[in-house]
Amino acid sequence: MTRLTHWIKRNTEMTLTILSGCLILLGIYLNAHSQGPLVDLSNDMETPLSAVIAFIAAFIVGGHSSAIEGFKELFVERKLTIDLLMFLAAVGASVIGYWMEGALLIFIFSLADSLETMAQAKSRDAISALMRLTPDQARKYQLDGSLSLVATADLRVGDHIQVPRGEAVPIDGELLSAQAVVNESVITGESIPVDKIAGDTIIGGTINDAESFDMTVTVENHDTLFAKIIKMVDDAQSNPTRAGTFIEKFEQKYVLAIIIAVPTFILGAHYLAGWTWLNAFYRGMVLLTVASPCALVASATPATLSAISNGAKNGMIFKGGDVVENIDRLQAIVFDKTGTLTLGHPEVENAFYRVGEDQKMINQVVKAAEFGSTHPIATAITSFLHETDNIQLDKIQDLTGKGFQINHRGDTWKIGKRSFALCSDAITLNEDEMALTQKMEVQGKTVIFVTRNHQFMAYFALADQLKASSVKAIKSLNELGITTVMITGDNQRTAEHIAELVGIQRVYADRLPDEKSHLIEELQEEFEAVGMVGDGINDAPALAVANIGFSMGSGTDIAMETADVVLVNDDLEQIPYSLGLAKNTQKIIKQNVIFSVSMILILILLSLFQTINLPLGVIGHEGSTILVILNGLRLLGYK
């Protein structure tokens, strides 16, 4: 019973529609069995008063909201809509004694409206699902050190909060505890929990997978990642498509034409064709019903909302229905390299030690030198040597832009790039070592050399790692006939190596941010529409210039705000998925438009030749509307 009550509250419009249908069934029963007083409106049919009351009740219950909306749009917004046409057709049918037909028209029209409302509600469930990911309350530390439950919305920057084991993080912040283990699958799609240390960023909605930890709030509740995502989805569903806007404008002109055409038809049928007033008026009501563009109006919106909802459910935020339309036009997609195709930070790929040298000592000296530095290369080497013991060096010099020079136990060590560590003529590499290091550098890897007392000891080769989804995504796009392009500020050698690994067709290297946007403009002269995928501030100009901008969810705020699509999970495979979703959306909208226009024309012809009556006209017209809505809802299940 509780579930039924909840469903009724959530679906009030559909509940009233069902009640209207029940009243029609009651009216049909009373029409057949009632012995009470009769109502005769000179249509050769006498209807029991009790049945008339049931039909009028069905009319009011099912049609009051459409009638109110129709007159509000007419007198307040000065717009003519199909709500007004349906109301006039139902009233007209009732006036000449076709009570059941009038009530049936309102019922099926209400059913179509209710289905469309439920479709929109189902689409907006994507927002509700996102909102439920962050708790409404948080455990906040008070000045005396005690904990108290407060509303998440009341948290302010600088507040200290505790996140218990197994609970969701209520808001974005910075870790205060020494360490934490956080499941970020809701953001990244990666099921393996992430180890965090003090100072790391904690994102609201992620799950604490270990012991409780403390964190500092770094944003207001409305500025969290999830708040931004929710706003983007909400804005997208309020943003009409070009097709939807065109249909809305067409609807007003079409309704005006029908309002003029129907009385003209009735007068012409009576005076020119010799029909009786009753027959002419009845046929006018049939024409008014079947000529209404209900199915055409519903051709685009349910399909587009379903596509937006499908994207949000799969971690892809479209910033409007027009974005879904434009994606279908893409012929080329440009990718930034660092942070888009790659992870955005280097990792040690190879470590080489000259035969006979003390590997343990080399690792200890290198780790001690790099430890504490925030440089990405130092961080990568320290991470690679995480199991190596820490030692104390006698003296260390950090030579900016070159590397480290170390004195330890009477030995002089150098750690850095070739030009620094191998600057002495006394340092030589044998043929194999030279070939290996040159091969690494040709592939675009950063090679860090280690020497002791002018003797080569070892090297560490580092490279930015490809994202797991890069190769599959580029392969899918190439197979779809999309030209794939990479624009990067990196050198040509590194860019070409990455492009070869992932299958990128065109490469433009050594490009500054403003040059990226100019290159997008050049590509737009060659291709109908060009997409851009990026994540950083330097990508924002190119994202703005592109016909469709894709931003990584882990990227900067400005990139997310500039882009048309946000890939929340940073999964590049969502791009070919978005193309498939967009193509299916346009396909379904075209199907709906062709079907609805065909049905309107067929029903009008049948009406003019007096082949169908009002009940069949109602079923054909509103039935086509329901089919169009259901066809659009298929996109909710697109995979």
Q: What is the pLDDT of residues 240-272, one digit of tens each?
A: 556 656 667 777 788 888 888 888 988 988 888
Q: What is the mean pLDDT of residues 31-39?
A: 68
What is the predicted pLDDT for the residue at 306? Answer: 83
Cite the beta strand spans of 61-204 per DSSP E.
137-141, 147-151, 160-163, 173-175, 179-183, 194-197, 201-202
* 567: enclosing H helix or E strand: strand 565-567
State the fold for domain 344-465: Calcium-transporting ATPase, cytoplasmic domain N (3.40.1110)
DSSP letter at 139 equals E
Nearest residue to 287 (alpha-carbon basis) of 620, 38, 14, 631 = 620
Residues in the chain: 639
Over the stretch 453-483, which tens digit does the pLDDT of each residue have? Answer: 989 999 999 888 888 888 999 999 999 999 9
Alpha carbon distance 369, 98 (integer Å): 93
Alpha carbon distance 507, 124 (integer Å): 40
Q: What is the mean pLDDT of residues 206-220?
A: 88
Q: What is the mean pLDDT of residues 563-573?
A: 82
Nearest residue to 229 (alpha-carbon basis) of 311, 300, 343 = 311
Over the stretch 578-611, which tens digit does the pLDDT of each residue have? Answer: 999 999 999 999 999 999 999 989 988 988 888 8
What is the predicted pLDDT for the residue at 473? Answer: 92
Alpha carbon distance 546, 550 (integer Å): 9
Say yes or no to pLDDT of 621 above 90: no
| pLDDT > 70: percent of the chain | 86
Say yes or no to pLDDT of 28 above 70: yes
Share in percent of the chain as helix, strand, coil (round to 5):
55, 20, 25
Give Cβ neighbours of residue 579 (< 8 Å, ≥ 6 apart).
327, 328, 330, 477, 480, 482
Alpha carbon distance 434, 432 (integer Å): 5
What is the predicted pLDDT for the residue at 188? Answer: 52
In degrees and rounded to multiples of 5, residue 43 shows phi and psi of -110, 25
Nearest residue to 579 (alpha-carbon basis) of 372, 312, 311 = 311
DSSP letter at 214 equals E
In degrees and rounded to multiples of 5, residue 228 shows phi and psi of -65, -40
Say yes or no to pLDDT of 74 above 80: no
What is the predicted pLDDT for the residue at 192? Answer: 59
CA 234 to chain centroid, in Å, comes to 10
CATH for 313-342+467-578 is 3.40.50.1000
Say yes or no to pLDDT of 506 above 50: yes
What is the predicted pLDDT for the residue at 189? Answer: 47
Alpha carbon distance 546, 334 (integer Å): 9
CA 500 to chain centroid, in Å, comes to 30
What is the predicted pLDDT for the residue at 79? Answer: 73
| Token pair for 515 | 């040059």
Q: Where is pLDDT greater, at 441 or 222? A: 441
What is the predicted pLDDT for the residue at 132? Answer: 53
The string of DSSP letters for 3-67 reads HHHHHHHHTHHHHHHHHHHHHHHHHHHHHHH--S-EEE-SSS-EEEHHHHHHHHHHHHHHHHHHH
Say yes or no to pLDDT of 523 above 90: yes
Q: Lowest mean pLDDT: which of 99-103, 132-136, 254-258, 579-583?
A: 132-136
Q: Supply the pTM of this predicted model.
A: 0.69
CB atoms within 10 A of CB 426: 10
Q: What is the mean pLDDT of residues 372-377?
A: 76
Alpha carbon distance 164, 180 (integer Å): 11
Q: Where is pLDDT greater, at 43 or 27? A: 27
Residue type, 262: V
Give Cβ neighbours of residue 373 (< 8 Å, ≥ 6 apart).
379, 382, 398
Say yes or no to pLDDT of 3 above 60: yes
Alpha carbon distance 634, 370 (integer Å): 56
* 497: enclosing H helix or E strand: helix 492-502
Q: What is the mean pLDDT of residues 73-101?
A: 76
What is the predicted pLDDT for the residue at 161? Answer: 93
Q: Where is pLDDT greater, at 119 or 345? A: 345
Q: What is the mean pLDDT of residues 114-118?
A: 70
Q: Is 218 exposed, middle or buried (0-12, 13-18, 19+ CB in 10 A)?
A: middle
Q: Is 341 exposed, middle or buried (0-12, 13-18, 19+ CB in 10 A)?
A: buried
| pLDDT > 90: percent of the chain | 18
Nearest residue to 81 (alpha-carbon basis) of 296, 265, 322, 302 = 296
* 406: enclosing H helix or E strand: strand 403-408
Q: Where is pLDDT greater, at 244 or 70? A: 70
Which CATH number is 137-222's, of 2.30.30.90, 2.70.150.10, 3.40.50.720, 3.40.50.300?
Answer: 2.70.150.10
Q: Lowest mean pLDDT: which of 118-127, 325-334, 388-397, 619-628?
A: 118-127
CA 410 to chain centroid, in Å, comes to 61
Q: Where is pLDDT greater, at 490 or 481? A: 481
Mean pLDDT of all residues belonging to the chain:
81
Q: What is the mean pLDDT of residues 147-171?
A: 89
Nearest residue to 335 (alpha-carbon basis) of 525, 507, 547, 578 = 507
Q: Lowest mean pLDDT: which of 141-145, 186-190, 543-547, 603-607?
A: 186-190
Q: Lowest mean pLDDT: which of 124-128, 249-253, 360-364?
A: 124-128
CA 604 to chain centroid, in Å, comes to 40
Q: Lowest mean pLDDT: which of 51-60, 410-419, 557-566?
A: 557-566
Alpha carbon distance 526, 521 (integer Å): 9
Give the strand pairing for 565-567 and 316-318: antiparallel
User: Which band of pLDDT confidence, cut at 50, 70 and 90, is reported for residue 96?
Assistant: confident
β-bridge partners, 449: 416, 459
Is 624:596 a contact under the CB 8 Å cutoff? yes
Whole-Å CA distances, 503 to 58, 368, 478, 494:
63, 39, 8, 14
The full set of domain ranges for the chain reads 2-128+236-304+583-637, 137-222, 313-342+467-578, 344-465
Nearest residue to 99 (alpha-carbon basis) of 55, 33, 148 = 55
Give Cβ neighbours of residue 277 (< 8 Å, ≥ 6 apart).
270
β-bridge partners, 612: none
Task: Identify the sign of the CA torsion 234, 240, 243, 248.
Answer: positive
Over the stretch 273-319, which tens digit does the pLDDT of each residue have? Answer: 888 888 888 888 888 888 888 788 788 878 888 888 888 778 788 87
Alpha carbon distance 157, 99 (integer Å): 64
Nearest residue to 440 (alpha-carbon basis) of 350, 361, 328, 552 = 350
Q: Which residue do the tokens 């392969």 mark?
A: 475
| CB-facing half-sphere around the CA of 621: CA atoms within 13 A | 36
- Determine which one of 336, 464, 535, 570 is catalytic: 336
Asked if 40 is an active-site residue, the reply is no
